[in-house]
Structure 1
């Protein structure tokens, strides 16, 4: 399927949905107009990395419907390889509604994804020829939550890539309502994290998953289970990292004057960290880039609209921290 000349840098998988963002603030029931965008945590990361010049492959299923075509058109526009995206004739592409906020608070989101095409992802969708030549696998906690068969695929991908000596990053991205129980979520995501090199929980996620409240202890929990590095996201305060070889530091956040939409901040953070690590940069620089791109993501409406091109990122990194606050 692939050969040496076209091997991908990064593989990820999951569910993309059409997202309808409210044009006005207030409860979703009262909103009359929406704007269509694209949503999906793993796809956001794929888009961000593709914009930075990486060769990215995204695996999924979409329905034979207009939303599915919208997903495919987005992949084409962003330059993401879709050879492992299949069209499911039986099940539809999911969608979601998202409220508009003007005070920096998290928007309300309603999902219409039960029984979607992507929820039927399974190990049958795995192609060793496609996946194993890639350098890196990125996983989120969303795709394993949408169904038992998709969860099996997540573990299969992680075990295969690990056996091949490739690197793996994991962002827990908790979606409690998609799991049978909180205990099942904690057990499943911690087992998946144990297969990853780089684990990227938010401080609140880390507390739910590990029972610890301090970033140092959350990091220690995953280092004991085999991670090479753990980066705990602390919102506006920045992020804390700790590595298996003993390095640790707090990297301050980027000041943002106007928070527009908090959804997608963690995905932007992952784009920054993964891109820098694959470029061979030290973890401290990778975390600083994660903070920088996360800060860009929350200054615009939409999950991936704020993710920069390579030229934009290079300009920001030359200009220094203060530039991010004015970037949008």
Structure 2
């Protein structure tokens, strides 16, 4: 089949204002404008590596929506399935600065956003079936009940079409009614995916198991062909039919901003697998991009171009 796109993502993009100095958000006076969104971070990472990427979402027709749409288009992403609605508003967030390598404080303003109002009827099935791969995360389906249905339906369509699906749990407990609801909802989506990328603590919460090997086995036993458990600075553990092992983390001189590192990791693994590289090489690429991502301010500033990737 001659695919129009390599990868499609569905999800919310937000305008992000990042404080220029450390300290409580309420004391920050100057901010830098950036984009934010787990799915769009991955889309940008893949597009910079030369893949043909499509993104589906909803935005308001406000200045924030126009900024996001213009930014995504400049990255080379197909935004033909992004609806801009003058009656709706675009989500946004504030992010603080930290200097100790910890996760920065984040304040979201996304409730009732345009993206949260997406419906299964918004899915263009023919467009989705024209892609090789679908990437999803646990963020978009947590925004609203209808977004969960959109996420599930896109995965079902791609599975029926014979394409591959990757899924990053990317847990956001504050968006779920309870931990049990989050565990049940996220796992139901993960069980539809071919490639699952949990972080170690996420995997422990979702499975009740402790070791990377047991977490990987949990998802492999439920249909995943590949599971990669992210171990932070220690690297990652991977498991697939006939192969498993560890990849070491790459040295990081100074951690500037941890947000977006997992998305960069996902972009590295997905791009390499779609290029036909070995699983170990794919995880090594993911680890290298993740290490780059934590050394810069912003969610996507550390994502490399194909030239910067070199022969990885």
TM range (shorter): over 0.9
Structure 1 CA distance for aligned equivalents of residues 261 and 154 of structure 2: 25
Structure 1 CA distance for aligned equivalents of residues 246 and 39 of structure 2: 26
Name which of 87, 92, 98 aligns with 2:89: 92
TM-score using structure 1 length: 0.94
Q: What SS is found at the alignment partner of 1:9?
A: strand
Name which of 304, 309, 312 aligns with 1:313: 309
Name which of 221, 225, 229 aligns with 2:222: 225
Q: Structure 1, residues 199-228: CA drift from partner, whole Å, max 9, x if none?
A: 000001001110111100100110111000
The match for 1:299 is: 295
1:121, distance to aligned residue in structure 2 (A): 1.0
The match for 1:149 is: 146
Structure 1 CA distance for aligned equivalents of residues 242 and 307 of structure 2: 34
Q: Does 1:216 align with 2:213?
A: yes
Structure 2 CA distance for aligned equivalents of residues 147 and 250 of structure 1: 36
Q: Does 1:269 align with 2:295?
A: no
Q: Does 1:27 align with 2:27?
A: no
Structure 1 CA distance for aligned equivalents of residues 2 and 245 of structure 2: 38
1:89, distance to aligned residue in structure 2 (A): 2.4
The match for 1:201 is: 198
Give structure 1 stretches of 5+ with no counterpart.
Answer: 318-328
The match for 1:321 is: none
The match for 1:51 is: 48
The match for 2:282 is: 286
List aligned pairs for 1:3-152, cutoff 5 A.
7-152=4-149
The match for 1:322 is: none
1:90, distance to aligned residue in structure 2 (A): 2.1
1:149, distance to aligned residue in structure 2 (A): 0.5
Contact 2:265 2:287 survives alignment (8 Å): yes
The match for 2:177 is: 180
Name which of 235, 242, 245 aligns with 1:238: 235
1:91, distance to aligned residue in structure 2 (A): 1.8
Structure 1 CA distance for aligned equivalents of residues 3 and 193 of structure 2: 25
Query: Across the two proteins, how many residue pairs are aligned to each other?
Result: 312
Structure 2 CA distance for aligned equivalents of residues 92 and 208 of structure 1: 33
Structure 2 CA distance for aligned equivalents of residues 118 and 180 of structure 1: 19
List aligned pairs for 1:246-265, cutoff 5 A.
246-265=242-261
Structure 2 CA distance for aligned equivalents of residues 219 and 6 of structure 1: 30
Contact 2:3 2:130 survives alignment (8 Å): no
Quickly say closer, same or farther: Cα 1:142–1:86, change in 2 above 3 A.
Answer: same
Q: Structure 1, residues 260-302: CA drift from partner, whole Å, max 9, x if none?
A: 1000000000010000000011101100000000011111000
